[in-house]
Amino acid sequence: MLELYKSLVRPHVEYCTPVWSPCYQKDKILIERVQQYRFTRTIPGFSKLPYYKILELLGLWSLEERRNRADLSEVFKMVKGLRQ
């Protein structure tokens, strides 16, 4: 189930995030709900656990953390001259 999510769902949610990275809290919450309610709550035995505990058990990051990491990576590439 985890591999299916990582390969089929998450790429659609993260498509072009460096370009359109959401700046409004409402948008961030709506995007995070895909992972929080649609995926992690469907795994048997995880429905009663807190969201961040589920992420820890599955070895996942929140989508906001992944966006922040992607933004930092792009800035690093620009500073080092790897991107123009």
For 25-49, what is each residue's pLDDT tens digit? 787 888 888 888 888 878 888 888 8
Question: In sequence order, what are the residues at sequence separation of 6 or more whose Cβ sits closer than 8 angstroms to the Cβ of residue 21?
Answer: 67, 71
pLDDT at 18: 67
Which pTM was predicted?
0.70
d(CA 13, CA 2): 15
